[in-house]
Amino acid sequence: METYFSMRKSRISAIISTFIDALYEVALPYLSDPSIFYHRFGLYSKLIEEKSGLHNLSVWGFIDGTLRKTCRPSRFQKLVYSEHKRCHGIKFQSVTTPDGLIACLFGPINGNRHDSYMLRESGLLHRLQLLFPPGSERYSLFGDPAYPQSHLLFGGFRRPPPGSDEAKWNTQMSKVRETVEWLFKEIITKWSFLDFRASMKIFQFPVAKYFVVAAFLTNLHCCIH
């Protein structure tokens, strides 16, 4: 790149960093406002019902958290260490839609925090509540049972007996809920640098900005195709 652009690598690095900062500011409004997708809630709900074979779900999207692994930081190691994953990292909360878009992205949060903590800190349920005035049709998010259950967010049944109606319902919903996992994988596949753990140094690089920008570019790629 130094030869091609006739620049020193320090200047090229500064240009890339400036571009990432600018793109991050552009991306945030599109990844933090669920009202952008409000007019498609009905369509999303219909698609999920057709895919799952279940009726009267009124589910428009899926919510889940993801841990982005990082190097062990030089300080505050306990704050970013996940006992569950046995590694250091930062967490993000994502709401995905059936057409492969990230409707909301919140983070970063310390790697040792629970998904329910992220939900509370994001204020997502409050913003969704404002979208549904009294008497209007309501749509919900679907997540795992670890989330607090409400009319705006619910999950599957906990440990249902094998062969029961509850177990069958969980199986049907898992067929459509797996799209949120696919999208996390899609981001890492398209932007493999994020998976290069040796470069994910919290106090040296804007690791969180990298992921947010990658999520935004993945949305753009989805819209194009």
Q: What is the pLDDT of residues 55-84, one digit of tens each?
A: 888 999 999 999 999 999 988 899 999 998
pTM tops 0.75, yes or no: yes
Distance CA 60, CA 37 (A): 10
Residue range 113-135: mean pLDDT, rounded: 92
Amino acid at 135: G
Distance CA 92, CA 211 (A): 9
Q: What is the pLDDT of residues 209-221, one digit of tens each?
A: 999 999 999 999 9
Among residues 49, 27, 31, the alpha carbon closest in space to that of 140 is found at 49
What pLDDT is stored for residue 206 in this prediction?
A: 93
Question: Mind spelling out the 3-state secondary structure of the chain?
Answer: CHHHHCCCHHHHHHHHHHHHHHHHHHHHHHCCCHHHHHHHHHHHHHHHHHHHCCCCCCEEEEEEEEEEECCCCCCCCHHHEECCCCEEEEEEEEEECCCCCEEEEEEEEECCCCHHHHHHHHCHHHHHHHHCCCCCCCCEEEECCCCCCCCCEEECCCCCCCCCHHHHHHHHHHHHHCHHHHHHHHHHHHCHHHHCHHHCCCCCCCHHHHHHHHHHHHHHHHHHC
Question: Residue 31 above 80 pLDDT?
Answer: yes
Chain CA centroid to CA 10, Å? 33
Q: What is the pLDDT of residues 125-161, one digit of tens each?
A: 999 999 998 888 889 999 988 888 888 999 988 888 9
Question: Residue 176 above 80 pLDDT?
Answer: yes
What pLDDT is stored for residue 125 in this prediction?
A: 94
- Percent of the chain exceeding pLDDT 90 equals 70
Question: Residue 179 above 80 pLDDT?
Answer: no
Question: Residue 104 above 90 pLDDT?
Answer: yes
User: Could you give the count of Cα atoms lying within 13 Å of 217 in the half-sphere of its Cβ?
Assistant: 15
What pLDDT is stored for residue 177 in this prediction?
A: 84
Q: From residue 35, how far is each of 25, 40, 117, 166, 179 by CA, in Å?
A: 19, 10, 22, 32, 21
